[in-house]
Amino acid sequence: MELVSENRAFGGTHSRYSHASATVNCDMTFAVFLPPFASADNPVPVLYWLSGLTCNDENFMQKAGAMKLAAQLGMAIVAPDTSPRGDHVADVDSYDMGKGAGFYVNATQSPYAEHYQMYDYVTKELPALIEREFPVTRERAISGHSMGGHGALVIALRNPKQYVSVSAFSPVANPVNCPWGKQAFSAYLGDNEQDWRGYDASVLLAEKQHYIPMLVEQGRSDQFLTEQLKPEALISAAQQSDTQLTLNMHEGYDHSYFFIASFIDEHLQFHAANLGLI
């Protein structure tokens, strides 16, 4: 790892690192917030945060206002980038495909398969690196926003033994049935829609009962609500499988980090409770 930057924050430390990733075949950057007193003798649990389209590791750390309460709770936060990066990485001239838009899948189609293995990066390589290099436990929670909310829900539902809880803000809840998802999945995974279903939270949630605690926030004034996000699909899926899901709809809130900052404390407390911190 190479230290990119480091800042003192709320008695803890916010750091950015780059490392050569074997999974996505390029250098990746991630951010880590370690609360005060985290040490080899006092390791802390981790909340992984997955960001949305056009974002990188910096957006959540700088805009969400999460570090103060995380410091008080004794919780580390890890925020990876949203896609592979570099001049040699396949890209298109669009904000919702290519760099900044990895959709947290393992791509199978050329030219994306060489680098766009974000599912394995987030679920395998990154946590192994974090747990080897930082004073953290193996207890993990996961959350995210928009595309990252999709990623968090899918990853938790597919790996319920690896995460004690999952939450999401404005997630892309049913990507097999929305323009963002159809475009990305056809490019990354191919034209067989059966291959898409394993990366759709609503499909996964409907298939069987799940016991991982789930919390979702959605603003009613979100400009992407009807066409792209489709929270009603998530509600219907939870009802089909008789799975407990808390989904809160908020009048007047949009898709921005103002929305995330307004309710991030509730999500940190939700995860802290499931991590045994409170």
pLDDT score at 23: 98
Domain carrying residue 125: 2-275
Buried b (16+ CB within 10 A) or exposed e, 25-46: bbebbbbbbbbeebeeeebbbb
Q: What tokens does 199 get?
A: 């990366």
pLDDT score at 167: 98
CATH code: domain of residue 260: 3.40.50.1820
| pTM exceeds 0.95 for this model | yes
| pLDDT tens, position by position, 258-276 | 999 999 999 999 999 999 9
| pLDDT tens, position by position, 125-142 | 999 999 999 999 999 999
The number of angstroms, rounded, from the C-alpha of 4 to the middle of its chain's C-alpha atoms is 22
| pLDDT tens, position by position, 71-106 | 999 999 999 999 999 999 999 999 999 999 999 999
Contacts of 112 by beta carbon, 8 Å cutoff, 6+ apart: 90, 187, 188
| pLDDT tens, position by position, 45-61 | 999 999 999 999 999 99
pLDDT score at 25: 98
Give the residue numbers marked as catalytic: 146, 222, 255
52 conformational bin, left if phi > 0, alpha if psi -120 to 50, beta if neither: beta
Q: For the chain, how many structural domains are there in total?
A: 1
